[in-house]
Amino acid sequence: MKTKVRTIILMTFITAGVLCVCVPVGFGDEKYKSDSKTQVKKIKEIRAEISLLNLLNGLYLSDEQSEELIPLAEEAVELRRKHRDTLAKHSDSYFLELGELRDGLYQPAGPKPEAKQKATASHAELEKKPLQELVEQLGVLEDKARLILSDAQVAIVEDFKPCLIPPKNLRDPVAVGQASTTKREKKMLDMVRRMPDELYAEKKNKIAEFIVKEAEHQKGEVPDDVRTAMVNLYCWKMEKIRRMTGDVACHHGKHKLCPISQYLLSEQAAEVLKKFSTARKQGPAVINMKDMLEGERIRMGGRYGGRMYKRYRNIAELLIQERRESDMISKEDIRKLKGMLRKTYKLSDEDENFKIIDKVADELNSKAVTTKSFELVMTKIIWLSREKKVEGILGMRNRYPDITGLREMIADAKEKNKAGQYKAGYEQLVKVVHYLESFKD
């Protein structure tokens, strides 16, 4: 009896062992393995997103900067998609050609010349050439993105290492620079783009040094080697901007992509930037420094409005009277010039008014230059600085920065006028007028 019981128990264990061997261990493991691969992919995506968000938070982007970067990232996504589509369209034939080349390499005699030629031609046409074009196109977008960012922000991107917890330099706004500083720099660089060649050639080094000093004033002094590097960087930026047509710089030649493409123009960046921008707009408002340059433009427009040509005409009429009292002009010329000024009363267009009054002023100042001549040309400068949006050449020195050097020229002319050197002061102001008229729109 005991022997039978032992036999039954033994058979039970053997049967169970056979079943354990036959039935796959951990029923449903295939499903688990599939899920684990998906999870690993998702973990990598989330880590990359966290890392990108750390970078974006550390850049302290303004709303304007975010809005300008989003379409660039979307355009980069579209360029990459087109690149993939080009390869996918011819992938079957290319696959066969590569397979034929590979198989030939296993043979003692090597692949056939035709196989080499086909594979090489397809590689150049489907991979090498399109990749060069893609890099070139992404390089253009990268240049645009670089101009949107401040120098400090560019430095942060280029030194960035993917991270889950951001390092100190990404948590310190001073290390990056507030968004308002970027607006200020952009206005200065836009003025550089519009400057006449002659004035730019004379002032470019001083302009770069001035912008660096402005940055040091706000963020603290930097070592000499860093300052030199920043001056060189601004000179590069200025040269690039002056080659711009409209608002966009053209990119030429081979381009080696930088971290800006990797982080801010990636496919993930296109989606994250939109979410990031939306979230920031829904959060508390960020208070930035007052935009001083824009403030000056509004102040000047509000103060003078469309009345400048009337003041210009009034001074011209006083010049006629002054020349008549000094017997510097004939009665016939007086009638002619007054007739020209009368035409301006029927015109509402400022430009047309100034053109007519300019002719009268030139005629009068060819006879003699007086303090009224100085006042007349100063009125023209005030109007031109508003029309050409050349901020900083008028007003308080400490409030509105001037990168053109025109403020100094005006100040020097005023000193000459005070000293009775009317002609020298007047000629200095005429030169300022020439520069202002030459500024691009």
Domain count, the chain: 2
Q: Is 151 exposed, middle or buried (0-12, 13-18, 19+ CB in 10 A)?
A: buried
Residue with tokens 């009896």: 1
Same domain? For 278 and 408 the reply is: no
- Nearest 5°: the CA angle 320, 324, 325 is 120
Question: Is 24 within a domain?
Answer: no
Same domain? For 278 and 305 the reply is: no
Same domain? For 251 and 323 the reply is: no
pLDDT given at position 311: 85
Same domain? For 333 and 263 the reply is: no
Contact 183, 291 (CB under 8 A): yes
Same domain? For 159 and 202 the reply is: yes
Please choose, from the candidates 206, 199, 84, 192, the residue with its C-alpha nearest in 3D space to the C-alpha of residue 134: 84
The string over 412-435, giving b where at least 16 C-beta atoms fall within 10 Å of a residue's C-beta and e elsewhere, is ebeebbeeeebbebbebbbebbeb
Please choose, from the candidates 39, 38, 46, the residue with its C-alpha nearest in 3D space to the C-alpha of residue 164: 46
Q: CA 219: distance to chain centroid?
A: 21
**Number of Cβ atoms within 10 Å of the Cβ of 342:** 11
Write out the two tokens for 303.
Answer: 């103060």
Question: Is 414 within a domain?
Answer: yes
Q: What integer is the mean pLDDT of 400-424?
A: 87
Same domain? For 302 and 264 the reply is: no
Same domain? For 253 and 364 the reply is: no
Question: Is 56 within a domain?
Answer: no
Same domain? For 123 and 227 the reply is: yes
Instruction: Provide CB contacts within 8 A for 276, sequence distance 6+.
Output: 53, 56, 66
Question: Is 241 within a domain?
Answer: yes
Domain range enclosing 314: 294-438
Same domain? For 338 and 365 the reply is: yes
Q: Is 310 exposed, middle or buried (0-12, 13-18, 19+ CB in 10 A)?
A: middle
Same domain? For 76 and 206 the reply is: yes
Q: 45-102 pLDDT, tens per residue?
A: 888 889 888 888 888 788 888 889 999 999 999 999 988 888 888 888 889 989 999 9
User: For every residue of 319-343, which 3-state class applies, written as one string?
Assistant: HHHHHHHCCCCCHHHHHHHHHHHHH
Please choose, from the candidates 432, 440, 318, 423, the residue with its C-alpha nearest in 3D space to the C-alpha of residue 382: 432
- Least reliable range by pLDDT among 32-36, 88-92, 161-165, 370-374: 32-36
Amino acid making up residue 9: I
Question: Is 27 within a domain?
Answer: no
Residue 409 — pLDDT band, cuts 50, 70, 90?
A: very high
Instruction: State yes or no: pLDDT of 248 exceeds 50.
Output: no
Same domain? For 103 and 193 the reply is: yes
Question: Is 97 within a domain?
Answer: yes
DSSP 8-state symbol, 171 = T
pLDDT given at position 61: 82
Q: 98-134 pLDDT, tens per residue?
A: 999 999 899 988 889 998 898 898 888 888 888 888 8
Question: What CA–CA distance (Å, rounded) separates 317 from 311?
Answer: 10
Instruction: Provide CB contacts within 8 A for 389, sequence distance 6+.
Output: 191, 297
